[in-house]
Amino acid sequence: MTKTQAIRLLGGTVAAAAARLKVSYQAVNKWPTELPPRIEARVVAAIAYEKLDLPALLGAAPELAAQVQEASHA
């Protein structure tokens, strides 16, 4: 995933991406053009966290819900 793709997925601006990931503008601005796996995973986790029904996951599979929640805060 590229920096441009990630920013687009997270709201279209560096400021929006930073807010969704709960990091500074400077942190996002310093991303390399091609994102390393750890940053790509944070982007995917942030999007998934907003789309998933965490209470339903907690009832159906507590270990999966814990992994999702942990990944979104990494």
Distance CA 40, CA 71 (A): 11
- The token duo for 6 is 């990630």
Q: Can you list the alpha helix ranges (DSSP code H) found in the chain?
A: 3-9, 14-21, 25-29, 37-51, 54-60, 62-72
Whether residue 30 is predicted with pLDDT greater than 80 in this model: the reply is yes
Instruction: Compute the mean pLDDT over every residue in the chain, rounded to the nearest whole number.
Output: 87
**pLDDT of residue 57 exceeding 70:** no
- Give the count of domains, the chain: 1
pTM for this model (two decimals) = 0.70
Tell me the sheet residues that pair with 34: 2
Quote the domain boundaries for residue 68.
3-72
